[in-house]
Amino acid sequence: PRLIYLSRHGESEWNVTGQLGGDPPITRRGEAYAKRLSEFLQREFRGRSPPTVWCSQLRRTWLTVRHIPTDICICWRSLNEINAGICEGMTYEQIKRELPDVWEARKADKLRYRYPGGESYLDVIHRVEPIILEIERQTKPLLIVAHNAIIRSIYAFFKGLKQEQVPYVDIPLHTLICLRTRPYGCDERRYKLLR
């Protein structure tokens, strides 16, 4: 497609507590973002057919897209957040304190470090490869609502970033990224829809 919209889900209960992963619901602020996102897209696509919507199989993403009027909404398992293995449900502080080896190893090589029982960024980058192919086959505008590591990987592909940069791309909450593909590279606009 010429237009690809990317967003993380609205704020989840675990974003507030700082816990990794899991399948928490969204907060009232997250819900406010879900409404803003829908309003924004309805304004952008007034009189035209709405974008196709893709989300993950975790409820924070489908709770975020549920107000958007669309003919097509698909939940992909390969859009689920990076699996933090034994660190799922922990905060960064807790990992630093209770699993210092994990903390140090990940800091030393965030791209390749695989959480015990979970995934590395390289694993995630490979996991989203089929999704990238699917994106490239789409003809209609597309909105993808997923997670930090997933949006980082997809964004980096379309921006032509190096794999080493993927784990550090800044993808804030409540910000809609719009990529417009060009023959070479793509233009980008970011919309902060909620503070």
Choose the stretch contacting ligand F6P; rule: CB under 6 A; options: 78-86, 156-164, 177-185, 187-195: 78-86
Neighbours of 49 (CB within 10 A): 11
Catalytic residue, chosen from 39, 77, 80, 81, is 81
Shortest spacing between CB 195 and ligand F6P, in angstroms: 18
Residue 146 within binding range of ligand F6P, rule CB under 6 A: no
| DSSP element (H, E) containing 180 | strand 175-181
Residue 119 within binding range of ligand F6P, rule CB under 6 A: no
Specify whether 147 is catalytic: yes
Residue 156 within binding range of ligand F6P, rule CB under 6 A: no
Residue 50 within binding range of ligand F6P, rule CB under 6 A: no
Q: Could you give the CA distance from residue 136 to residue 117 in angstroms, rounded to a whole number?
A: 32
Neighbours of 151 (CB within 10 A): 23
Residue 81 within binding range of ligand F6P, rule CB under 6 A: yes
| DSSP element (H, E) containing 146 | strand 142-146
Specify whether 60 is catalytic: yes
Q: Could you give the CA distance from residue 142 to residue 155 in angstroms, rounded to a whole number?
A: 13
Q: Is 195 helix (H, G, I), strand (E, B) or coil?
A: coil
Residue 84 within binding range of ligand F6P, rule CB under 6 A: yes
* 30 or 167: CB nearest ligand F6P: 167
Distances in Å between the alpha carbon of 54 and those of 101, 125, 148? Answer: 36, 18, 15
Specify whether 15 is catalytic: yes
Q: Which residues are catalytic?
A: 8-9, 15, 60, 81, 147
Judged by the rule CB under 6 A, the positions of this chain that interact with ligand F6P are 20-21, 81-82, 84, 147-149, 167
